[in-house]
Structure 1
Amino acid sequence: MPDNRKIVVVLKGYPRLSETFIAQELLGLEQAGFDLTLVALRRPTDKKRHPVHDEIRAPVHYLPEYLHEEPLRVFRSWLKARKLPGFKAAFSAFLADLRRDFTRNRFRRLGQAAVLAAEWPQGGAWLHAHFIHTPASVARYASLMTGTPWTCSAHAKDIWTSESWELASKLESTRWTVTCTHTGFDHLRKLAGGKDNVHLSYHGLDLTRFAPFEGARPPHDGSNAAETVTILSVGRAVEKKGYDVLLRALALLPGSLHWRFEHIGSGPEIATLKALASELGIEARIAWRGALDQKDVLDAYRRSDIFALACRITADGDRDGLPNVLVEASSQRLVCVSTAISGVPELLRDGENGLLVPPDNPQELAYALERLIIAPGLRARLADATEERVRTHFDNKVSIRQLTALFEQEWRQT
């Protein structure tokens, strides 16, 4: 069992509907006996929250999202932080970063780190950042100011949209970093410069929340207007999710097939996607359900016939790692079709337990969807196989044990 030393966890925002994997991990660490304090760079914007958020006992401390919004708090923190023994080292690191990236964001992260250091949670003995971009910048500066060791969880966008020099400097200063896909692991290991402090740890699911679906899906094949095939997708409406590609693929399906599409999630591109659906003439077959909590999402998995996610790599390098929604859908014996990028092939194997297509290819995606719509037997075979893979390889108890061992090993050495 871990001792009672407190871990201060730096998050970009909390709570967030789109980051259930983080919430599940936080709860798992608490259940393993760790004492946590959460520090968020942003206040919540979602109107709903998942049940798991209500089960997490850790207090949440919000830093000023923008320094000018709380000038007195920032000024007082700055005066206090300047007296810390490690402030000079933190400021030197900030200047080195600033010379390579002169942006307002750099000043904001230093200011947030000063507030964190000045308002340090009582008993805080360790820093852990979720995401290796901005939260890790705050954690790194605060670590230097306070002399507190820090570690990091790296995920997807934070890895692939960060400059290599910045990732390398953070990997050099962390005691260890974990990441959730083999592609991210290989990339970070190369940047670590021979330092053996990067670990692969799949998030997995809390399978007690995603119990096996015991119902029977009807063998609809798209031939009957009264028995439409439901295609579901869950995700934020952002470029990397490829929803424009998915809509174009749906529009390419044969007119004789009867299907409907449901989207769960919010995001900045919703209005654009609705306009595209209208332009493509498929808006009557689509239900835009907005952001929902985990209970409603679970119900949608169980009511659907196919899950689709057209992940892509954007021009700036942004991409998913292994989208948690694919693991969730698979746990409910729901067949998935997605793209062969990042960590997706680490879950789905084309033709064995799902279908994979190239990214940004509506024609191939339409063909895969058609195959699944007209063949309920194929859907069932692939879905059975992917559920088996999730329940044997993606249980989050494994990742919690890995993190527990990493923390315990470090604490024995300090």
Structure 2
Amino acid sequence: MPERRKILVVLKGYPRLSETFIAQELLGLEKAGFHLTLISMRRPTDTKRHPVHDEIKARVVYLPEYLHEEPLRVLKGLFAGFGKPGFRALMKRFLADLPRDMSRNRFRRLGQALVLAREWPDNGQWLHAHFIHTPASVTDYASILTGVPWTVSAHAKDIWTSPDWELNTKLGTARWAVTCTRSGWEHMRSLTGRPDAVHLSYHGLDLARFGRFEGQHSNRDGTDPSDPVLLLSVGRAVEKKGYDVLLRALALLPKSLNWRFEHIGGGDELARLKALAAELGLAGNIAWKGAMAQKEVLAHYRSADLFALACRIAANGDRDGLPNVLVEASSQRLMCLSTDVSGVPELLTNGENGLVVRPEDPMALAGALEAAIRDPALRRQLGDAAEKRVREHFDYHSSIKQLIRLFEEEWQQPS
């Protein structure tokens, strides 16, 4: 077995409640014997942590989030950069990128890369970025300056909101890239002359944390006003999650149908969604619960009757890959209703292990919601099939093994 090198993992922010799939991957690599140092471009804003974050032993180093806040670190990085063999190549690359992205962010990524290269924590021997947009920019620049090779895990928003020229450039310099949906994999392969360096790797679920639900979801069918069907959704209140579409679908349900809806998650659009719910006359049926820790979310999956997520492609091209919450809910035999966007059909097949409708279609969504609310036997059948698929095909140990193989195959080669 080749020696396992020390990896500096560059992240946009750490820890983040919405990125447990990254945290479980970091923990899996640590358990496999890899030495990690986490390089975070932002300090945490979440007030809660998942248990997995407390199990990760890696040291966390925070780069200057805004260059003007820590000018001394940035200046020291710049002066140290002058003496590095890769400085001229870095500036050539930066000046080629700048006309295509004349933004403060572009200068920020350069400054963060200079700081990282100067401070170089724990004698790192490899660079790995999570997300192919801004974290990969810092990582790529630091790699050019130091000569240390780099790799990248791409996910969803980072792929679809990055311009093709930038993806092409990064895929040309990274040793390899992994991504978690077939649609993202195919898109990135189409943009590079090295398609074999792009790998499909579903990040899956830590099934030890989402053990089998031995209880039963209820037989509620919407006919009893004192015992309404419980609908659940977990996700940030942002455009790509389609919560406005879901609210409009709920407003189309027959008035005789008894339901209540719980939303878990933060997000910038919460106030607008609450106002829309009031406008639609739904406020009395909805509980906005805010962000929750993983154990609390798990309890909600088990008590709910139906999970709904109306994924869509946002105006700026942003979209989900395969939302981890759909995998989590499915692991608890909770029937899921979603849309045929991006990686969702790679988990859910309409009528087989879930219900899948077109995005941006409140009428179709309302029809599927009504069918599921009225038919507990259908919910049970689809939920059982979804759990079977998750436990057979979405165990995160498979993705960890694939990453280990990719790293070790690379490290058998000369640096």
In angstroms, what is the RMSD of aligned CA positions? 0.8
Amino acid at match of 1:251: A
Amino acid at match of 1:46: D
Cα distance change on mapping 1:90 and 1:287 into 2, 3 Å: same
Q: CA deviation at 1:296?
A: 0.4
Q: Which moved more, 1:191-200 or 1:389-398?
A: 191-200
SS in 1 for 2:313: coil
1:189 and 1:195 mapped to 2: Cα distance? 5
1:383 paired to 2:362: no
Q: Which residue of 2 aligns with 1:327?
A: 327
Maintained 8 Å contact 2:2/2:412? no
Q: Which moved more, 1:389-398 or 1:90-99?
A: 90-99
* Residue pairs, 1:173-212, within 5 angstroms: 173-212=173-212
Q: Which residue of 2 aligns with 1:224?
A: 224
1:332 and 1:2 mapped to 2: Cα distance? 39
1:401 paired to 2:401: yes
* Residue pairs, 1:114-129, within 5 angstroms: 114-129=114-129
TM-score, structure 1 as length reference = 0.99
Deviations 1:54-102 (A, max 9, x none): 0000000000000000011111111112211111111111110002111
SS in 2 for 1:122: helix
* Residue pairs, 1:10-409, within 5 angstroms: 10-409=10-409
1:213 and 1:81 mapped to 2: Cα distance? 55
Amino acid at match of 2:148: T
Q: CA deviation at 1:4?
A: 3.9
Q: CA deviation at 1:228?
A: 1.0
Q: CA deviation at 1:405?
A: 0.2
Q: CA deviation at 1:2?
A: 5.7
Q: How many residues in Structure 1 have an aligned counterpart in Structure 2?
A: 414
1:194 and 1:18 mapped to 2: Cα distance? 31
Amino acid at match of 2:409: Q
1:401 and 1:152 mapped to 2: Cα distance? 16
Maintained 8 Å contact 1:236/1:265? yes
Q: CA deviation at 1:195?
A: 4.1
2:274 and 2:39 mapped to 1: Cα distance? 36
Maintained 8 Å contact 2:171/2:192? yes
Amino acid at match of 1:147: G
Structure 1 residue runs without a partner (length 5+):
none
1:353 and 1:2 mapped to 2: Cα distance? 42
SS in 2 for 1:25: helix
Q: CA deviation at 1:315?
A: 1.6
Maintained 8 Å contact 2:213/2:302? yes
Deviation beyond 6 Å, 4+ runs, structure 1:
none
2:172 and 2:73 mapped to 1: Cα distance? 31
SS in 1 for 2:89: helix
1:7 paired to 2:7: yes
Deviations 1:213-264 (A, max 9, x none): 0001121101001221100000000000000000111111111111000000
Q: CA deviation at 1:196?
A: 1.7
1:58 and 1:81 mapped to 2: Cα distance? 26
Structure 2 residue runs without a partner (length 5+):
none
Q: CA deviation at 1:396?
A: 0.3
2:350 and 2:134 mapped to 1: Cα distance? 35
1:143 and 1:30 mapped to 2: Cα distance? 23
2:49 and 2:249 mapped to 1: Cα distance? 32
Maintained 8 Å contact 1:2/1:404? no
SS in 1 for 2:125: strand
Amino acid at match of 1:409: E
SS in 1 for 2:322: coil
SS in 1 for 2:226: coil
SS in 1 for 2:218: coil
Maintained 8 Å contact 2:4/2:408? no
1:205 and 1:123 mapped to 2: Cα distance? 31
Maintained 8 Å contact 2:172/2:194? no
Maintained 8 Å contact 1:235/1:265? yes
